[in-house]
A and B are shown apart, each in its own frame.
Chain A
Amino acid sequence: MSARVTSQASPSLGGPGRLAVLLRSERLRSWSARIGLILILIALFLGGWEFLKWVTDSPRTTLPHFHEVFDYLFDIDSQGNTQWLAIGRQLEVTFIEAVTGLAVATVAGFAAGTLMALSRWTGRGIMPFVIGAQTVPIVAIAPALVIWLGTGWETKALIAGFLAFFPIAVATARGIGDISQDSLDLMASYGASPTRVFFKLRVPGALPYIFTGLEVAAAFSVIGAIVAELPVGSQEGIGVKILTSQQYFSLEPESLFASIGGACLLGGAMVSMVRIVQLIVLRGHRGETIS
């Protein structure tokens, strides 16, 4: 979430130059404050972890020490690789599935959203299903798709894309449709063609919405990829790694923690990627989104 609350408005004081100085210094302060806050939050998380372990007196097989999980990353597995490399390889597979899915979903979602916004009947006809389709339990469809299309990464990318499609389509439809009549009238007064109106007005206006949708979609694409890896027959991916770690949990609990940590990092990385693109693309926009 972006909680950029403007500081209590001191009613229009100081010239523009002074305002710029003020903004710059405030931004700098807020950045350093942010990094400090994040460090504190990480410390709190680790502290909470160890505290919980101490308070509940959990054995290693319920909650290992954080450093035990960390050490595990540098153990050597049966193939002679370090564990972090092994987990990294699985993450790479899932990452490719998720990114491909997200890319396909972005194109398809944008097209579908545009269609829904611009054609009233299509919109009304399809929108309930776009919302309804989000209730489809993806775990149930995944096995059938795996049987159908094979266990290759493309199948998983497709499932990841399926999940990522809906947030993008809904956000695009809302953004493309939510243009003020005044702006449309202004474009009409210039005699702008529909294509012009679309690219000069609707698309830029819709971008903040679309990025909000993309952020959700990025997280969903990772979920989709992992879920797609669960059905029997899959050999690769962090989802498979989590499943096998679960089976050997009592022997090697650190493996499950490390794999789940890896999956979480992947989700974070995907969302951060979208955020960075958003920061670059929406430089000039006002920074208010609800995510």
Chain B
Amino acid sequence: MTTDADPAAAAPGAGPADRRDWGRYAGLIVPPALVFVAAVALWEAAVEVFEIQRFLLPRPSEIVSLFFEDFSRLINQGRNTLGVAGRGLVLGGAIGIGLAALSFRTRWMAEGLGIYAAVLKAVPVISLAPLTVVWFGIEAGSKIATVSIATAPILFTFTLVGLRRADPNAQELMRSYAAGRLRTFWSLHVPYALPFFFSGLKISVTIAMIVAIISEYFGGSFENLGGYIRNEANNVHTVEVWTAIVMACALGIGLYMIVAIIDRFVLRWHSSKRGG
């Protein structure tokens, strides 16, 4: 809408004013907070009114108090699970991103790997958990392998789509500068792929967490969230199970938020374009 004559139209301060920013944050935080409080209250009331038995659904207040009582144990178990999820994610990411970077220029290779990735995404990865146990042992190794099998195809697909999305004109521009492949890759393809990579990463972190817990559930040490859940669930210690759920959710959401914040920070140019 700006004619060229009016640089003021494009002058700095295009971002929203600080005061409005606060309003926006409040708008983002207040409604979910209200929903959360209402849901917890409803839950507590339902347990009271319908006299639901403890082993079926414990009260939130009971879960919270046990959560803090057991906090040091839970955080320890959470750290072990987080370690498995993190290592699996790094391994899966290295494989997925590496293959995407190697194949994105070669159509048949990208297509072939894409089919493998599509199959892996359709496959119920957790059913592979018993096999990874056979191959990599009952402890962390097998769980890390399962997590990377689950996350590699996701990161591969997103990264590949991003790398291939680079503006054809910009590719020609780089060619006109006689820029080398590596140069073009870093200066052009990588920035194009970053937003896609982060979208994939946001999905992958939560999946990594869940898959880590499920594969821990399949056996091995009890000193992690999945093992703890298996043990307590078998003894119908429902409150204990719920404290582990709370810890798992907190860690999952925390991981997601860290990625989301990095995404925001790294891709300011991108999100400001989207957000307008």
Task: Determine if A223 and B125 form an interchain contact, defined as CB atoms under 8 angstroms apart.
Answer: yes
Does A135 sit at the interface, judged by CB under 8 A? yes
Known contacts A137-B210, A137-B226, A219-B122, A242 near B127 by CB under 8 Å: yes
- Chain B 246-271 per-residue mask, 1 if CB under 8 angstroms from chain A, else 0: 00110111001000000000000000
Does A17 sit at the interface, judged by CB under 8 A? no
Does B66 sit at the interface, judged by CB under 8 A? no
- Chain B 1-35 per-residue mask, 1 if CB under 8 angstroms from chain A, else 0: 00000000000000000000000000110011011
Checking B36, B116, B124, B226 against A226 with a beta-carbon cut-off of 8 angstroms, the contacting residue is B124
Known contacts A121-B31, A124-B32, A140-B233, A219 near B121 by CB under 8 Å: yes
Task: Determine if B229 and A140 form an interchain contact, defined as CB atoms under 8 angstroms apart.
Answer: yes
Interface residues of B in 132-170 (CB under 8 A from A): 133-135, 157-158, 160-161, 164
Checking A135, A139, A243, A246 against B249 with a beta-carbon cut-off of 8 angstroms, the contacting residue is A135
Cα of A131 to Cα of B255 in the assembled complex, Å: 12
A218 to chain B, nearest CB (A): 8
Task: Determine if A140 and B241 form an interchain contact, defined as CB atoms under 8 angstroms apart.
Answer: yes
Task: Determine if A136 and B107 form an interchain contact, defined as CB atoms under 8 angstroms apart.
Answer: no
Cα of A1 to Cα of B161 in the assembled complex, Å: 9
B180 to chain A, nearest CB (A): 22
Checking B108, B119, B130, B213 against A137 with a beta-carbon cut-off of 8 angstroms, the contacting residue is B213
Known contacts A125-B32, A134-B206, A140-B241, A3 near B127 by CB under 8 Å: no
- Report, as a range, how many residues of chain A touch the other chain: 35 or more
Q: Which residues of A contact B225 (CB under 8 A)?
A: 137
From DSSP, what is the main secondary structure of chain B's interface residues? helix
Task: Determine if A226 and B126 form an interchain contact, defined as CB atoms under 8 angstroms apart.
Answer: yes
Number of interface residues of B (CB under 8 A): 64
Interface residues of A in 105-156 (CB under 8 A from B): 121, 124-129, 131-132, 134-141, 143-144, 147-148
Cα of A263 to Cα of B251 in the assembled complex, Å: 29
Task: Determine if B160 and A1 form an interchain contact, defined as CB atoms under 8 angstroms apart.
Answer: yes
- Chain A 236-277 per-residue mask, 1 if CB under 8 angstroms from chain B, else 0: 001100110110010001001101100110111011100000
Instruction: Show the binding face of B for A, using Cβ within 8 Å.
Output: 27-28, 31-32, 34-36, 55-57, 107-108, 110-112, 114-119, 121-128, 130-131, 133-135, 157-158, 160-161, 164, 196, 206, 209-210, 213-214, 217, 225-226, 229-230, 233-234, 236, 238, 241-242, 244-245, 248-249, 251-253, 256
7 tightest A-B contacts by CB? A135-B252, A125-B31, A271-B122, A263-B127, A143-B233, A125-B35, A124-B31
Q: Which residues of B contact A272 (CB under 8 A)?
A: 122
Pairs A–B under 8 Å by Cβ, sample size 7: A1-B161, A5-B164, A134-B210, A137-B209, A143-B233, A242-B127, A267-B123
Checking A62, A63, A135 against B248 with a beta-carbon cut-off of 8 angstroms, the contacting residue is A135
Task: Determine if B253 and A135 form an interchain contact, defined as CB atoms under 8 angstroms apart.
Answer: yes
